[in-house]
Chains A and B, each alone.
Chain A
Amino acid sequence: MNSHDLSIVYNGTIIEEDELTIGELCQACDTNTEWIICLVEESIIEPHGNEIHSWRFSSASLVRALSAFRLHRDLGINIAGIALVLDLREEIENLQTQISLMGVNGNGHKLVSK
């Protein structure tokens, strides 16, 4: 790497709740519109906006769509199965967050007196 590379700082933009169009989501997941529409119909991802041209997707949709694609490709799970897997995973993640918030402080010590 030369010093020129080091000096470049790339500016990114945050993807907000109502950011990605269906075209951008397709590109980001390297998939086609039909697949994305299937995901929406199964309510695996939920866009803002009423009709397909005004649909806008969030970061969370991007994460779920990518997972859905991999689960289908790698494990051959059908669309209903994917929805179930992702919902259960989300529930587990929520429970884990709650556990981490309960009774244990930041550095992992239980809050008890000594």
Chain B
Amino acid sequence: MEFKDYYKIMGLTRDASQDDVKRSYKKLARKFHPDVSKELDAEAKFKELGEAYEVLKDPEKRAAFDQLGVNWKNGQDFKPPPNWDEGFEFKGGGFNNNGGNTAYSDFFEQLFGQAGRQPGDRHRQSFQERGQDSHAKIHIDLEASFQGATQNITLSTPEVDAQGHVQIKHRTLSVKIPKGVKPGQHIRLTGQGNPGLGNGQAGDLFLEIEFNNHLLYRVADGDIFLNLPITPWEAALGAKIKVPTPEGFIDLKIPANSKQGSKLRLKGRGLPTREPGDFFVVLQIVLPLADSESAKTAYRNMQEQLDFNPRKYLEG
């Protein structure tokens, strides 16, 4: 079990006042809140921060934690000394009240878990209640939206056991990805959420769809974008080019005098959503290097033959 230095996590020293703890929490919570933060591990960091705050804001827990001494380093292998918590009384208050199901680290559970939780709390109730809906994200390939697919997803749910310990239960589901799903949409699996209480029915499971990055395509809403590199002469004179789409190659007509960055739209060839999206080809004109005598001659010819000044507007 790893030691967690709650002071370090909160960027505080051991002599921080309770006000410092509160202020630091507010500042870091804004920084790492998963709904705001763009940092990759924001969710894990926010959880860790919540746990640190849970301990340091509560004078009883903070005193108990301080008692462990100052020689432990964050991440170090840790075993609590025997009877370390003797003489401390945890009231069990101050826990985040989101169903008592928050998963704290093993370290936290070992120190405060048993004292802090009411064993079997949720099972004492005898009335019926529908289970809560649960949420998860699932990453799929763009092709799955075109063809449909079956994909496994592993869900981790914290569950409180009879002794009041929280354990992470893993469960793998095979999920059918329906055709025409787009990023940000949800798939609803009826009855796959949390179990109900008594004879209450189970909640639903909502899977939020995210697309894996694709080698060729970018997806925005139901539309698909492809960057297509073309030569200056294809852009200037027009051309017919073989272009990949998720449904196979097509012949695309590039109109003469096409400009850099212009978009050609293929209506209805985007994601096969209820109202099908469009497929956009974005033209990227690539200039050949003048790295041979004949290339240089070609450019010089252009210079002589074309009366072209792209900076006219800068000349006042």
Contact = CB atoms under 8 A, between A and B. Distances in A.
Given A10-B176, A14-B185, A89-B36, A30 B214 contact: no
Interface string A78-114: 0000000100010010000100111111110001111
B209 to A, nearest CB: 8
B287 A12 contact: no
B185 A59 contact: yes
Contact of B189 (A6, A12, A67, A100): A12
B35 interface: yes
Closest 7 CB pairs of A and B: A12-B187, A67-B35, A106-B216, A15-B186, A105-B227, A59-B185, A9-B174
A107 B212 CA distance: 12
Contacts of B216: 105-106
A63 to B, nearest CB: 7
A15 B229 CA distance: 37
Interface stretch (B70-78, B104-112, B116-124, B129-137): B129-137
A112 B35 contact: no
Contact of B33 (A6, A11, A27, A75): A75
18 contacts: A11-B189, A13-B178, A13-B188, A14-B181, A60-B184, A70-B35, A71-B33, A74-B33, A75-B33, A89-B35, A89-B36, A101-B220, A101-B225, A103-B284, A105-B284, A106-B218, A106-B226, A106-B227
Interface string A31-49: 0000000000000000000
A81 B216 CA distance: 38
A7 B35 CA distance: 36
B175 interface: yes
A28 interface: yes
B30 interface: yes
A11 B168 CA distance: 25
B150 interface: yes
B217 interface: yes
Contacts of B130: 27
Interface of A: 1, 5-6, 8-17, 27-28, 30, 59-60, 62-63, 66-67, 70-71, 73-75, 85, 89, 92, 97, 100-107, 111-114
A13 B218 contact: no
B176 A9 contact: yes
Given A9-B150, A12-B177, A74-B29, 15 more contacts: A6-B174, A12-B207, A15-B187, A16-B185, A16-B274, A28-B133, A62-B206, A66-B135, A74-B50, A101-B282, A105-B229, A106-B218, A106-B226, A112-B286, A114-B289
A113 B174 CA distance: 44
A100 B289 CA distance: 26
A92 B187 CA distance: 25
Contacts of B58: none
Contacts of B186: 14-15, 59, 62
A89 to B, nearest CB: 7
Interface string B200-238: 000110111000011111101000011101000000000
A1 B135 contact: no
Residue of B29, B35, B213 with highest tally of chain A CB at under 10 A: B35
A111 B229 contact: yes
Contacts of A75: 26, 29-30, 33
Nearest to A15: B186
B17 to A, nearest CB: 20
Contacts of A5: 172
Nearest to B35: A67
Given A9-B150, A63-B184, A74-B33, A28 B176 contact: no
A30 B220 contact: no
A28 B286 CA distance: 49
B125 interface: no
Contacts of A112: 286
